[in-house]
Amino acid sequence: MSKKYHFLNISRRWLSYAVMVYMALALGWWTILLYQKVSDSYEIKSSILDASDPSYAIAYDQLAQEHQRELFMIIGEGIVFVIILGLGLYLINRAYRKEIAIAYQKRNFLLSITHELKSPLAGVKLAFETLKKHKLEKNQEIELIDAAIDENSRLNKLVNNLLLAAKVENEYFVEKELIHLNAVIEEIIETYQFKYPEFKFEFSPSELPAILFDREGVYSIIHNLIDNSIKYSLDKKEIQISTQFHNHNIELQVADQGIGIPEHEQKHVFEQFYRVGSEDTRSASGTGLGLYIVQKIVKAHRGIIQILNNKPKGSIFKIKLPIANE
Ligand code: ADP
């Protein structure tokens, strides 16, 4: 966020506060004046009433009641106005905070996406340059080519996530087909186990009916959740994945023993570009799009996603998907 934009934002905010304070003071002043005027007029009217007149008591009563009504009206209107002003102030403040948060997240996104795009490109370039310049042993060549392929698939994953994020942001048309979730998970875990031999992936499947689901969507959910479990893991490199079938819902859980997500952050991590911490202090790379995409896909299939705290540490992502999700 540029300094000029930030300054403009702050001055706009203070200007709106100043207008509101001026309105509150003006209203207070006019209320006091009106109150005095109504009281004066009551006193004058009551002083000219003739006490010897037989209808004096009734006339006096009417006058007193009318005076009461006027006072209530002035106080009532004052209160309503103060409430409306307060609400206005609250809404301005909330909109301002939201705008600041979005601008901050966008800045973080740009910083991270630049890094995420640059580093695999640099990795691939370096591998090719080394292959070109140096005469290497066959196994060294294979190592370098493997590294370049890895960087390439990282880039591919990132671009796919960006495309998917754009797709789910607008109308997300799911193309449903019958999916056997356990089989898909097994296939995905196999590729992860091969790529991350230091991790232990435990899968506990329950018998499930086939579910009508968007194929690209189901792959994206599982990949994003497992990727996060790996990225945010600590020394205990264990990831537990399980499926269950409960009350016409398929339940999928991905649990890790990693850094966990503080409770007050849990509702935010599904927002677009949102990442816990700031780009300057964060060590794991990312764009803040993964969980946003996952949540959109889950919702498009009428499911829900929850975060639970794992014990003794880490996070559990739990997804419930109704099998009748048409
Ligand atoms: P990112 O590309 O940053 O991983 P995500 O949308 O996938 O984006 O996740 C949003 C944020 O939620 C992450 O930046 C991270 O702070 C937090 N997060 C997601 N998954 C986990 C996890 N398994 N453990 C700890 N923190 C997580």
- Report whether residue 256 contacts ligand 1, using a CB cutoff of 6 Å: yes
Out of 269, 287, 310, 319, mutate this one to test ligand 1's pocket (max ligand atoms within 8 Å of CB): namely 269
- Report whether residue 259 contacts ligand 1, using a CB cutoff of 6 Å: yes
Residue 255: C-alpha distances to residues 135, 180, 191, 201, 224 (Å)? 45, 21, 18, 10, 13
Pairing of β 238-246 and β 200-204: parallel
Per-residue pLDDT for the chain (326 aa), expressed as one digit of tens each? 556 666 666 677 788 788 888 888 888 899 889 989 999 999 998 888 888 888 888 888 999 999 999 999 998 988 898 899 889 888 988 988 888 888 888 888 888 888 888 989 999 999 999 999 988 899 999 999 999 998 999 899 899 889 888 888 877 778 889 999 999 999 999 999 999 999 999 999 999 999 999 999 999 999 999 999 999 999 999 999 999 999 899 999 999 999 999 999 999 999 988 989 876 667 788 889 999 999 999 999 999 999 999 999 999 999 999 987 66
In ligand 1, the atom with minimum distance to the C-alpha of 317 is 23
For residue 1, which amino acid is it? Answer: M
* Fold type of domain 176-322: Heat Shock Protein 90 (3.30.565)
Out of 234, 238, 291, 295, mutate this one to test ligand 1's pocket (max ligand atoms within 8 Å of CB): namely 291
2.60.40.10, 1.10.8.60, 1.10.287.130, 3.40.630.30: CATH of 109-170? 1.10.287.130
Ligand 1 mean position to 224 CA, how many Å? 9
- Phi first, then psi, for residue 176 (nearest 5°) are -85, 140
Contact predicate 293/165, CB 8 Å:
yes
> Exposure of 241 by Cβ count < 10 A (0-12 exposed, 13-18 middle, 19+ buried)?
buried
Domains of the chain, by residue range, sit at 3-107, 109-170, 176-322
Ligand 1 mean position to 250 CA, how many Å? 23
- Report whether residue 294 contacts ligand 1, using a CB cutoff of 6 Å: no
Q: Is the whole-model pTM more than 0.85?
A: no
